Amino acid sequence: MHAKAADRLLHHYSNHARVLPWRAPPGQARQEPYKVWLSEVMLQQTTVATVTPRFLRFLERWPTVDALAAASDEEILAEWAGLGYYARARNLISCARVIAERGGFPGSEAELRQLPGLGAYTAAAVAAIAFGADAVPIDTNVERVVARVFGLTDRAEVTEAARTWWPAGRAGDFAQACMDLGASICRPRQPLCQSCPLKDDCRAAKLGTAHAFPARKLKKARPHRFGLAWWIRQGDHVWLTRRPAQGLLGGMAALPGPEWGDERPSANPLAIHRHGFTHFTLDLMLVPRTEPTEEGWWQALKGLADAGLPTLYRRAIECALAAEREPRLAA
């Protein structure tokens, strides 16, 4: 039954595959590894709509992995600004340089797994999509499709079920078919079961409880932290610095200030920007100062878009500028 279901899904994919700049159309030559790898790194925790224009900008600036490897950390981090999860950018830099030094991408899942920043999913995705290996990449969409088809609530069982279902020789196409199905039809909420090519094969659809598969993860409460950022402005310029290479937002342009903590500092801020990270929330308090006290540079306010600021600091600066215009705290 599941072999026939796989055939139906591949047929559906051949007619309804999403057109994406990092994807080769069904039935055509496989996409080059650089584009597959770059897209998979960018797509981690980030939507297709957000990634697509940024992916094209990266390709225009660095059309090959060798070109990317030759770029400076600062250039790449600045281009990554706004995509979030900045450890991905640092791993991207390290990985590109390893690949360039070895003369190209390795073709096996096991070898890809040894590259910096390539976890189990990314290694399997590149192996299957770019090299045609019989690897089984399981992202959130794939996990949901498999869990519903087989009627599994235990996430550990999903991986094994996927391995038994994956058609040999079509791993890349089948993975992308599952990804598309999960994104467009087998959605987390309000799945379009009547439009699904697998509705007659899907246990969850037959039970009428697709929303229950897979079992939802319990969300942990996020702790709250506090930080200070020095607001140092002279005319149409603001003083920026660069965060330490390691740690959260490592190597990114930033407003100067001490490390964040769990206790609210005693300060009289010009503005407070509240920001949500994956594992905690942050109140960043912008405190005026007259002169720089650490290394950095004067950045023209008109050129902030070129500074490579992550979202936290870009929005914090917007809050500070708003507060200077209004006699109250901007949050």
What is the reported pLDDT for 65? 97
- The predicted-structure confidence for 271-285, as pLDDT tens digits, reads as follows 999 999 888 999 999
Let me know the angle formed at the C-alpha of 18 by 13 and 24, rounded to the nearest 5 degrees. Answer: 85
Q: Average pLDDT, stretch 253-260?
A: 94
Residues catalogued as catalytic: 40
Q: Average pLDDT, stretch 302-318?
A: 91
Instruction: At 151, list the tokens.
Output: 């009627």
Q: Average pLDDT, stretch 86-96?
A: 92
Return the closest-CA partner of residue 138 out of 109, 106, 176, 170: 176
Q: How far is CA 98 from the centre of its chain?
A: 21
Q: Average pLDDT, stretch 19-33?
A: 91
Q: Average pLDDT, stretch 321-327?
A: 84
Helix (H, G, I), strand (E, B) or coil at 154: coil
Q: Average pLDDT, stretch 148-169?
A: 91
DSSP state of 302: G
Cβ atoms within 10 Å of 315's Cβ, excluding its own: 15
Sheet with 224-231: strands ordered across: 224-231, 281-288, 271-276
Distance CA 24, CA 32 (A): 9
Residues 6+ apart with CB under 8 A from 303: none
* Placement of tokens 């094994």 in the chain: 160
DSSP state of 116: T
DSSP state of 210: G
What is the reported pLDDT for 210? 86
First to last CA, the chain: 56
Q: Average pLDDT, stretch 265-273?
A: 93
Return the closest-CA partner of residue 283 out of 312, 308, 254: 312
Within 13 Å and on the Cβ side, how many CA atoms surround 1?
Answer: 8
Return the closest-CA partner of residue 173 out of 53, 2, 16, 1: 16
> What is 224-325's CATH number, 2.30.30.790, 3.90.79.10, 3.10.20.740, 1.20.1260.10?
3.90.79.10
- The predicted-structure confidence for 101-144, as pLDDT tens digits, reads as follows 999 999 999 999 999 999 999 999 999 999 999 999 999 999 99
Q: CATH code for 2-212?
A: 1.10.340.30
Q: Are 167 and 3 in contact (CB under 8 A)?
A: yes
Q: Average pLDDT, stretch 10-39?
A: 93
Q: Are 230 and 257 in contact (CB under 8 A)?
A: yes
Query: What's the predicted TM-score (pTM) here?
Result: 0.81
What is the reported pLDDT for 71? 96
- The predicted-structure confidence for 184-229, as pLDDT tens digits, reads as follows 999 998 999 999 999 999 999 988 888 888 877 777 889 999 999 9
What is the reported pLDDT for 178? 96
| Extents of the domains making up the chain | 2-212, 224-325
Q: Average pLDDT, stretch 290-311?
A: 91
What is the reported pLDDT for 187? 93
* Placement of tokens 């595959």 in the chain: 17
Residue type, 4: K
Let me know the angle formed at the C-alpha of 11 by 178 and 108, rounded to the nearest 5 degrees. Answer: 50
* Placement of tokens 């912008």 in the chain: 286
What is the reported pLDDT for 123? 97
Peptide bond into 137 cis (omega under 30): no
Q: How confident is the model at residue 327 (pLDDT cuts 50, 70, 90)?
A: low
Mean pLDDT for the chain overall: 92
What is the reported pLDDT for 328? 54
> Pairing mode, if any, of strands 224-231 and 281-288?
parallel
Kindly report the three-state secondary structure assignment for every residue of 21-71: CCCCCCCCCCCCHHHHHHHHHHHCCCCHHHHHHHHHHHHHHCCCHHHHHHC
* Dihedral of the alpha carbons of 251, 256, 259, 260, in degrees to the nearest 10: -110
